[in-house]
Structure 1
Amino acid sequence: MKLLKYYFYCLVFTMMSCEKTDNKLQVQIFETSAKGNQLTKITEFPATDTKVTIKLIPEQTFQTISGFGGAFTESSAYLLNKLSKKNRDTILRAYFAKDGARYSLTRTHMNSCDFSLTNYSYSPVEGDKNLEHFTIEEDMDDLIPMIKEALAISEDGFKIFASPWTAAPWMKDNNKWVGGKLLPEYYDTWALFFSKYLDAYKAEGIDIWGFTVENEPHGNGNNWESMHFTPQEMTNFVQHHLGPKLEADGKGDKIILGYDQNRAGLKEWVNAMYKDEASSKYFHGTAIHWYESTYDYFPEALQYAHNKAPDKYLIETEGCVDSEVPKWQDDTWYWSKEATDWGWDWASEEEKYLHPKYAPVNRYARDIIGCLNNWVDGWVDWNMVLDRQGGPNWFENWCVAPVIVDPDADEVYFTPIYYVMAHFSKYIRPDAKIIGVDNSNEKLMVTAATNPDGSIAVVIFNETEHPKSVNLSMHEKTVEFSIDVKAIQTIMIPKI
């Protein structure tokens, strides 16, 4: 009898243990924080006074992810060439290797941009309408080797889209690198330019995924390379010239993204691009930047753009800490509201409120999560590597990159921005689907995605001065942990 009781109690204990185990959500948690964690796996969680409940709803799905990454620029490539092979490899592996950030969506420039060493064009001969002298020679020393090395390191591969800042001056009405418009007589030449670029890069072993039609078609205050389009002019160029040319050359599968500037102007642009079936035929999606505000990610504009073209891409193609010289080996600065952007000095008085001081980490984390929760499917940072001055930049338009280098001393500084980017790029993979989330605390930003392998990535950002306890649940399973002050976490849930 005692033996039977013993077996009975053992059975009950085993069932209770199984029940507890079955109800527990198995997770791995990685954190980057102002206190010093850098994508660190954490297993100990102090108790807090604030309780937050987050419920995942994987049955509720939204956009499919294109990827996350940064831009290959001549400036970044030039700097890498000045470093030791060890440090060059360290940086490229940190961005593209399986144990690094695993960047999956990248950008580069066609012709020169402000983050080039000089002004140059692939069509250097004036009046060469058939582009018989087209050449990418300017990219051969720095830019192309950087892209090739990244491709060799990446096990999963990554997409590359290219953006022109301007056509050569001889194709424009002002005959200058800065400002002006493409002359109508060169619309076909400019469409041919895109096709020849694809061929030239393909010959170097680099397959270009697609294009944005023009970087910042509103211009940039006539400071560095630019070329202006109205929404109607860009739509006309794509509808009647670029799209048909790529199609005729057997390149109709290449992605064409329209607009490529700040989100506040989205409505006017998508209204023109997606006016009807004919105007939208060759546009695969819309490209956006974040420079309109240091804190507002413009959810209404993003929602409008998605609803106007729900089956098209909506990709953030550029964002950075601009108008700042990088702080060297000073992680605290990146977590502090001390940075200012272009608008701090130059925005009109009625728009100054959009440009207060901000913490660079906050700006990245808030914007990426805000974008993912409002239909954006890809998010691309600007330069991957800059120097301690925030260049080189021929216009002295200094900016910050996730990785800062001192080529003279052969030193590398991975800023906190690098780790914030990796919280998304490493764990939310291409073709993942954003899923529904119920979050009880509006001061925590949360997004979640189901990956193609069935795993789920949840990203939580706490920019407050108070730690918070989190009860995370899905399908009747729960797990409890806490997130520290000024911290971002990625919670990985294996396929169930």
Structure 2
Amino acid sequence: MKPLKYYVYGLLFMMMSCTESENKLQAEVFETSAKGNQLTKINAFQKSDIKVTIRLKPDQTYQTITGFGGAFTESSAYLLDKLSKENRDTILRAYFAKEGARYSLTRTHMNSCDFSLTNYSYSPVEGDKNLEHFTIEEDMDDLIPMIKDALAISEDGFKIFASPWSAVPWMKDNNSWVGGKLLPEYYDTWALFFSKYLDAYKTEGIDIWGFTVENEPHGNGNNWESMHFSPKEMTDFVQFHLGPKLEHDGYGDKIILGYDQNRAGLKEWVDEMYRDEASSKYFDGTAIHWYESTYDYFPEALQYAHNKAPNKLLIETEGCVDSEVPKWKDDAWYWNKEATDWGWDWASEAEKYLHPKYAPVNRYVRDIIGCLNNWVDGWVDWNMVLDRQGGPNWFKNWCVAPVIVDPDADEVYFTPIYYTMAHFSKYIRPGAKVIGLENSDKKLMVTAAQNPDGSIIVVAFNETEIPKSINLSIHGKVKDFAIDAKAIQTIVISN
């Protein structure tokens, strides 16, 4: 018979093992990295001398997530039609299927935009104030089929909001697609335009969730379709024309987002949009873009906008790598600080510092995490698909998309930006609540959210050249793992 002490030691060992098992946090880790991981599940981790502790605080809740996604544009739809059915389906499934990025919030354009093949309008007949000749015929061959195919693939469905770049020239004071303002005599006609658009898309079986009032109301340097509004002009248009018209026509439940441009101008816009109860009634939230800087996500402006209207939406509605011809099948480029944007060449000397060279992956993930940690509830990329030139684009305003195609060779390239977007869209679902956390490392960006099903999602970004060991804890349970250098991780903690 063994001495009693061996039984005691054995019992203590079993108790310690049980305690360790009880304290172990069950979580899956998915990583995209400069070394080549692409939303890859990681089971083995390399330890690092740099230790990071992250403590989740699910009792601290912030904004409710509306969704993540990209934009349906004529350019993207046109390219999909040029591909084989197999590649077209592969791309749409990659964005919308359950095994894909599961996009939940999307955008499209009303009338043409820079990522259209030509200028066009749904109200082509001059002087047609009652829009008796309103038609979405221009969308029927490409844009609408793309949206319908995406809806058929998506198991959970997704929200769509629409944005006009400009009214038709005959409604504007400069009679041009570019710049100018909507003539006051056409304010009611333009409000009717939104209602007619909802009718037409509903007839096609597409439910439009809402609108931004105008894409980039400051203009865009008079380059492509645009129509200018001051904060007061847009607010008056919504309060006295658009809001009442949608309400009258049975569309009072449709979302209206004001502004829809860069964040540095947020204060004057939200001050005017929410100037009183009468104006606030018709605005459901504020739309923002990211083109003010290649690195600054303007947390103070985001905080101000939230505090001005705490119960309203705050959605990033457009962002992309602009002014660059895409790098065909060159993953490394997306992780290195070689990209330039419009501001690299055209920003004023006083604002040049906001536009240094940047790494595209860094810009995306930094902005999304920065937004989520400052009350933004939705984040929408720009074009879903572009070609090797960064188009087609009638103005030759080249940009990069998460998926790049060569239609002549029927080839498809999923860039690292696609996987970056999926780290958020696939796992943080509509209705999730952003939750609090403590993070010991200021150089590691981290955000967290709890989904409606109870699962908790943590997204971490290590943009440094050094791997880091992480100790993640919640409710006394712990998971030890590591994040590689230049890597994004999504940690899924099941309910």
- Offset from partner CA, 1:410-448 (integer Å, 9 cap, x none): 000000000000000000000000000111010000000
Equivalent residue, structure 1, for 2:57: 57
Equivalent residue, structure 1, for 2:190: 190
Equivalent residue, structure 1, for 2:206: 206
* Deviation at residue 49 of structure 1 after TM alignment: 1.2
* Deviation at residue 8 of structure 1 after TM alignment: 5.4
- Offset from partner CA, 1:228-267 (integer Å, 9 cap, x none): 0000000000000000000011110000000000000000
- Give the whole-Å Cα distance in 2 for the aligned partners of 1:480 and 1:104: 31
- Offset from partner CA, 1:6-55 (integer Å, 9 cap, x none): 76555443322221111111110000000000000001111111111111
- Counterparts of 1:19-418 in structure 2 under 5 Å? 19-418=19-418
* Deviation at residue 279 of structure 1 after TM alignment: 1.3
- Counterparts of 1:6-21 in structure 2 under 5 Å? 10-21=10-21
Write the letter of the residue equivalent to 2:485: V
* Deviation at residue 322 of structure 1 after TM alignment: 0.3
Write the letter of the residue equivalent to 1:466: I
RMSD after superposition: 1.0
The alignment partner of 1:71 has SS state of: strand
The alignment partner of 2:458 has SS state of: strand
The alignment partner of 1:460 has SS state of: strand
- Offset from partner CA, 1:38-82 (integer Å, 9 cap, x none): 000001111111111111000000000000000000000000000
Write the letter of the residue equivalent to 1:261: Q
- Give the whole-Å Cα distance in 2 for the aligned partners of 1:219 and 1:473: 47
- Give the whole-Å Cα distance in 2 for the aligned partners of 1:213 and 1:284: 11
- Give the whole-Å Cα distance in 2 for the aligned partners of 1:5 and 1:155: 59
- Give the whole-Å Cα distance in 2 for the aligned partners of 1:176 and 1:261: 21
* Deviation at residue 167 of structure 1 after TM alignment: 0.5
Write the letter of the residue equivalent to 2:379: W
- Offset from partner CA, 1:271-298 (integer Å, 9 cap, x none): 0000110111100000000000000000
The alignment partner of 2:20 has SS state of: helix
- Give the whole-Å Cα distance in 2 for the aligned partners of 1:275 and 1:398: 38
Equivalent residue, structure 1, for 2:485: 485
- Give the whole-Å Cα distance in 2 for the aligned partners of 1:356 and 1:299: 19
Write the letter of the residue equivalent to 2:186: Y
Write the letter of the residue equivalent to 2:470: V
The alignment partner of 1:287 has SS state of: strand
The alignment partner of 2:221 has SS state of: coil
- Give the whole-Å Cα distance in 2 for the aligned partners of 1:332 and 1:249: 52
- Give the whole-Å Cα distance in 1 for the aligned partners of 2:195 and 2:93: 31
The alignment partner of 2:268 has SS state of: helix
Which stretch shifts more, 41-50 or 399-408? 41-50
Write the letter of the residue equivalent to 2:51: K
- Give the whole-Å Cα distance in 1 for the aligned partners of 2:323 and 2:67: 27
Equivalent residue, structure 1, for 2:427: 427
Write the letter of the residue equivalent to 1:424: F
Equivalent residue, structure 2, for 1:476: 476
- Give the whole-Å Cα distance in 1 for the aligned partners of 2:6 and 2:55: 40
The alignment partner of 1:108 has SS state of: strand
The alignment partner of 1:345 has SS state of: helix
* Deviation at residue 454 of structure 1 after TM alignment: 0.3
The alignment partner of 1:437 has SS state of: strand
The alignment partner of 1:182 has SS state of: coil
- Give the whole-Å Cα distance in 2 for the aligned partners of 1:47 and 1:57: 25
- Give the whole-Å Cα distance in 2 for the aligned partners of 1:166 and 1:427: 35
- Give the whole-Å Cα distance in 1 for the aligned partners of 2:133 and 2:10: 83
- Offset from partner CA, 1:307-336 (integer Å, 9 cap, x none): 000000000000000000000000000000
Write the letter of the residue equivalent to 2:352: K
Write the letter of the residue equivalent to 2:261: Q
The alignment partner of 1:223 has SS state of: coil
Unaligned runs of 5+ in 2: none
- Give the whole-Å Cα distance in 2 for the aligned partners of 1:469 and 1:20: 19
The alignment partner of 1:131 has SS state of: coil
- Give the whole-Å Cα distance in 1 for the aligned partners of 2:189 and 2:453: 44
- Give the whole-Å Cα distance in 2 for the aligned partners of 1:309 and 1:395: 37
- Offset from partner CA, 1:354-408 (integer Å, 9 cap, x none): 0000000000000000000000000000000000000000000000000000000
